[in-house]
Amino acid sequence: MTQRPDPSPCIDQLSPFLVPPSRADQHRLFHGRGGTVPGWDWLTIDRYAPVLVATLFADHQDRLADLFALLQARLPSLGCDTLVVQHRYGGNARNELLAGDWPEQAVAQENGLKFLLDFERGQNIGFFADMVPARAWLAQRAAGKNVLNLFAFTCAFSVVAAAAGAEQVVNIDLSKAALALGQRNHALNNLDSARVHFLPHDIFRSWKKLHSLGRYDLVIIDPPSEQKGSFVARKDYAKVLRHLHRLLKPEAELLVCLNAPWLGEEFLEQLVAENLPGCEKVARLPFAPGFDEADPQAGLKVLHYHYQRPPEL
């Protein structure tokens, strides 16, 4: 007997996810990339009221009409009036407005803080919703601390640290445009930037500059997983870790992060063990609300480490 192929995924499978979230810190409504709903691994849906964002990681033209009709029908019940679709396949990323108007100032809100969204950026709109637990972790520890934010992007971690009362925050990222948006994020939240530094530099050429700004109590390492000409995790992560002992206070805390489905938690653990003596893993932070993963190793890895400088250093 010839086996029939599995039927195409049904659009009705998405309906249970298209409801207002019960948690104020949840932005992701549907995380198809997590592989928990077969046939929909090419789709994610995020809510930044009044904007709904659907991101497509593959070109499924035969299913888009039904998808877009469902999303537009659900806008009012989700407290949204604008639908943005990001096409992220074919080597490019473009944002398309399907309903409503481009907002003059779209923001993501989290724990009383606001973060600007920029739909002209293409692939990254300026805010990572999967970092909710990491930002909460930082908010609980940043008061009075000297914080180093490596690969700072639009400085969401810096906003959280500054709002929590950090003594100093140093942000470094190769992208001047991203850091400029980070400065606007601080202004949006009425944060005094006098003790916040924005360094548009190559991290690998800036160790002396980072050292000149003091030893750090807290360090966040959140690099791109693979960005040609900038950072490739397999070969570059170790270089970052090897330099940190010169920047850390005798006791410090680190968040070691990586969002690369092809590299698991053991990859990070081995890198830290081999390249930053004195570090002890405390815990892996949980996934953000809405980011369920069929394979936890394929999802975002955020590891909390405690550092105590070895006597020989």
CATH number of the domain encompassing residue 244: 3.40.50.150
Q: Are residues 239 and 144 in the same domain?
A: yes
- How far is Cα 191 from Cα 182, in angstroms, rounded to an integer? 12
Local confidence band at 8 (pLDDT 50, 70, 90 cut-offs): low
Which residue range forms the structural domain that includes residue 46? Answer: 11-104
At 296 the three-state DSSP class reads helix
Number of Cβ atoms within 10 Å of the Cβ of 235: 8
SS (H, E, C) 25-50: CCCEEEEHHHCCCCCCCCEEEEEECC
pLDDT over threshold 70, residue 2: no
**208-228 per-position pLDDT tens digit:** 999 999 999 999 999 988 877
Q: Are residues 175 and 270 in the same domain?
A: yes
Asked if residue 117 is part of any domain, the answer here is no
Q: Are residues 99 and 134 in the same domain?
A: no
Q: Are residues 99 and 150 in the same domain?
A: no
User: Considering its fold, how many domains does the chain have in total?
Assistant: 2
Q: Are residues 191 and 247 in the same domain?
A: yes
Q: Are residues 76 and 146 in the same domain?
A: no
Asked if residue 109 is part of any domain, the answer here is no
- Please compute the mean of the pLDDT values over residues 266-289 and round it to a whole number: 97
CA distances from 181 to 94, 97, 153, 300 (A): 19, 22, 9, 24
Asked if residue 25 is part of any domain, the answer here is yes
What is the distance of C-alpha 194 from the center of its chain?
25
**12-70 per-position pLDDT tens digit:** 999 999 999 998 889 999 999 999 999 999 999 999 999 999 999 999 988 999 999 99
Q: Are residues 178 and 257 in the same domain?
A: yes
pTM: 0.93
What pLDDT, on a 0 to 100 scale, did the predictor assign at position 103? 86
Asked which of 104, 119, 138 is the last residue of a domain, the reply is: 104
Q: Are residues 28 and 174 in the same domain?
A: no
- Asked whether the beta carbons of 262 and 295 are under 8 A apart, the reply is no
